[in-house]
Amino acid sequence: TANDIDSLRQKLIAGSQKVQQQIIPQLADLGNEGLQVLQEFLLKRRDTPATWIDGKAYQVVYNSDAPTAKEFLETYFPEGIVPLKSDCGISYNSLQQLLIRQEFQAADLLTIQKMCEAVGPQAVQRKWLYFTEVENFPIQDLQTINYLWVVYSEGKFGFSIQREIWLGLSKNWENLWPKIGWKDGNKWTRYPHEFTWDLSAPRGHLPLSNQLRGVRVMSSLLNHPAWNT
C-alpha cells in the first residue's frame, strides 16, 4: 500500500546503512512504485559522492525489468554513478559496466589490464606491474578503480578495504592472507577456481594481486599516496 511505500521511503532516507541495505531490495520487489522511490533517492543524492548504498540502489534499478527504470538510468546515469576520472586519458567505462553487473571475475581481469594500460605499452605487453610502476601509478586512476570496486560490491571489495584490514592487522601480511581468503593454513588459494567471485567472499577478497613474484606490488598498492588524500 501507499503507507508501506512511504514507511520504506522514510527508512531509506533516514536509516543506517544496514537498514538501507535491507530496504533497497524490498522496494524493488514492490514493482514500479518501489522503483520510483529508489530513482528519487538516486537523483536526490546525485550531487554528493556515491556510496555503496547508491551502488546497491543503482544495481537494483538496473536489474529490474521495468522499461521506465531503464529509461531513467539512460537519462540520468547512462554510464553508472561513479565519475570515471583519469590522469592519463584511460576509459574505465567497461570496468564500471562489469562491476554494475557484479561480474567480479571479469572485472578482476580487466582491473589488471587497465592498470597496465595506465602504466604504458611495456606493462600492457608484460601483463603485470613492477612495484616501482605501482609506486608511481596515477592517483586519480587508482582512486577511480578502487571507488568502482567499493561502490558496486556493497563496500566489500577494493584496495582501500584490503588496506583497512591490513592496517587493522598491524600490517602483518601473513595474517592478512587467511583473513581475505587468499591462503588457508599453508595452502595458497589456487587461481582462478578456488577464489570466490561473488559477494559471499570474505571482505577484501577482491581485487586479486598475484603473490607469485612477492609481496612488493601489493605493498606498493596499499602504501600508495592515493589513500592519503
**Residues making contact with ligand UYC (CB under 6 A):** 128, 182, 188-189, 191, 208-212
Output the CA–CA distances (angstroms, integers) from residue 217 to 110, 120, 123, 125, in the order listed. 17, 17, 13, 18
In whole angstroms, the minimum distance from the beta carbon of 191 to ligand UYC comes to 4
In whole angstroms, the minimum distance from the beta carbon of 208 to ligand UYC comes to 4
For ligand UYC, give the closer residue by CB, 76 or 191.
191
For ligand UYC, give the closer residue by CB, 54 or 108.
108
Question: 170: buried, middle or exposed (CB in 10 Å: 19+, 13-18, 0-12)?
Answer: exposed
For ligand UYC, give the closer residue by CB, 146 or 189.
189
Ranked by CB distance to ligand UYC, the top (closest) residue is 211
Phi first, then psi: give them for residue 187, nearest 5 degrees.
-105, 120
Which residues lie closer than 8 Å to 175 by C-beta, 6 or more apart?
169
First to last CA, the chain: 46
For ligand UYC, give the closer residue by CB, 18 or 190.
190
In whole angstroms, the minimum distance from the beta carbon of 116 to ligand UYC comes to 10
Query: Residue 183's beta-bridge partner residues?
Result: 188
In whole angstroms, the minimum distance from the beta carbon of 194 to ligand UYC comes to 8
In whole angstroms, the minimum distance from the beta carbon of 188 to ligand UYC comes to 4
In whole angstroms, the minimum distance from the beta carbon of 128 to ligand UYC comes to 5
Cell of 145: 578503480
Q: What is the dihedral of CA 205, 207, 213, 216, to 10 degrees?
A: -90
For ligand UYC, give the closer residue by CB, 20 or 189.
189
Report the C-alpha gap between 143 and 137 in whole angstroms: 10
DSSP state of 190: P
For ligand UYC, give the closer residue by CB, 54 or 133.
133
79, 60, 66, 62: which is closest to 21 by C-alpha?
A: 60
For ligand UYC, give the closer residue by CB, 52 or 182.
182
Cell of 79: 554510464
In whole angstroms, the minimum distance from the beta carbon of 115 to ligand UYC comes to 11
